[in-house]
Chains A and B, each alone.
Chain A
Amino acid sequence: MNIDSINNGIVIDHIEAGKSMEIYKYLGLENLDCSVAIIKNVKSKKSEKKDIIKIDNDMDINMDILGYIDTNITVNIIKDGKIIKKAHMELPEKLVNIVKCENPRCITTEQQDVDQIFELKDRKNKIYRCKYCEAQAKKNNSII
C-alpha cells in the first residue's frame, strides 16, 4: 500500500498497533481540513506492527497527550520534504484538560470552568491523580 510522502506536515510514528484512532480522537484531528492518513498495522523493525499518522499540514501537536498515551511514539516535523525535527515522548508531569475526572464527588464535576488537572504520582506505574480529589485517571476516562 502506498501513501504519498508529505512536504510540509507531521508524521506521528511508532504508535502501538491499534492506538492510532485513540490518538486521532485525543488530538482532535477530525477537525482538520487537510489530508490525514491513518496507516494501521505497518511492519516495524522495533515491534512487529505499528500504526502511523501522517498530517499534511503544519499544526501544533500536544506532546503531553502523546506522551500520556505511549512514550514510544516519535513525532517527525517535515518541512520542504525533509525531517527538520524528531521528538521523542516522555510521560508529562501534568495533564491539563486532557482527561476528565470521573469521580462524581469531585469539585470539577460541579464547577465547569475549572481546568481538569491530573498530576503524575507514580512514574513506574504511570499513575496520574486528579489534583483536587486524587481520583486516578483511567485510560477509559472521557477525553476533553
Chain B
Amino acid sequence: MNSSTAKGESVSDTIRTVGCYSDIIAMRHPKEGAPTLVSQVSTVPVINAGDGGHNHPTQTLTDLLTISKEKGKLSDLTIGLCGDLKFGRTVHSLITAMTRYKNIKFVLISPNELKIPDYIKEEKLKKNNIEYIETNDIEEYIDKLDILYMTRVQKERFFNEADYVRLKDYYILTLDKLKNAKKDLCIMHPLPRVNEIAKEVDQDPRACYFKQVEYGRYIRMALILKLLGIK
C-alpha cells in the first residue's frame, strides 16, 4: 500500500484495489476521516483501526470489554482520563461510547495545552448531561475514580517538537500517586506506553493494561467473525 501511495495513488483507489484481494480491510491512517471516506467506495467492510487524532473504535470495543469484565458493569462509574486528551483518539471514542450508559462521571486530567476538544464537551458530555470535571492534577480526584485511563503524549501529533518535549512527561503514574486510590481501581492504557506509567505499577493488582491487550485480541476476533458472517 505504501508503494502505491508513494506513486501518488489516491486512498480511494488503494482501497478499491486492496478490496479485490481481501474480505475485510482494517485501516489505520494518519489523516482524520480517511476510513469514512474509503468506506464510501469500498466493496468490502472497512474497520477503522485509528484515524489520526480523531477516533479509534476498535480500541473502544476493547476498553468496553475490559471495563465490563473487570468492573462487572458499564454504568455507575467515575472514569479518570489522563494525558493527551486533545489528540488522544482512544479517549474521544471512549467518551462517545460511555455516553450511552447511566450515571457515568468523567474526571478529565490534562495539561492546558492538551485539554479535551470543545466539540467533545459540547456535543458528547453537555448534550448528554454527563458530569465532568477538568483538572491538571492527577492526584486531586484519584480517590474518587473507579477507572483511571492513562494515555501517551503522542509525538506524531505535534507539528512542533519543542511542545512535545515539554509535555511528554507531564504525568507519570507511580505507586506513591496511587496511595489514596480505591483498592479496586482499574488502571487502563491503550498502549504503547512510554513513561506515563512507572514500571513499578505493573505489579500492582490494579494494573489492568496488559489484560486489556488480551481483551483486545478477543474483541477483534469477534469483530472479524461478525463481518465474515461466521457464528
Contacts and interface: CB of A to CB of B under 8 A. Distances in A.
Contact of B123 (A103, A109, A122, A133): A122
A105 B10 contact: no
B11 interface: yes
Given A105-B53, A134-B119, A136-B119, A110 B31 contact: yes
Interface string A67-98: 00000000000000000000000000000000
B54 A133 contact: yes
* Chain B interface helix/strand/loop/mixed: mixed
Among B12, B31, B53: residue with most chain A CB under 10 A: B31
Contact of B32 (A105, A122, A136): A105
B45 interface: no
Contacts, number: 54
B12 A111 contact: yes
A129 to B, nearest CB: 7
A50 B26 CA distance: 53
B172 interface: no
B33 interface: yes
Of the four ranges (under 10, 10 to 19, 20 to 34, 35 or more), the interface on chain B belongs to 10 to 19
Interface in B145-172: 159
A135 B32 CA distance: 10
Contact of B33 (A106, A113, A121, A122): A106
Query: 7 nearest interchain CB pairs?
Result: A132-B33, A133-B32, A107-B31, A133-B33, A107-B34, A107-B33, A105-B52
Interface of B: 10-12, 29-34, 36-37, 51-54, 119, 122-123, 159
Interface of A: 103-111, 113-114, 121-122, 129-136
Given A114-B12, A132-B33, A135-B32, 9 more contacts: A105-B32, A105-B54, A108-B33, A110-B31, A132-B34, A133-B33, A133-B52, A134-B33, A134-B119
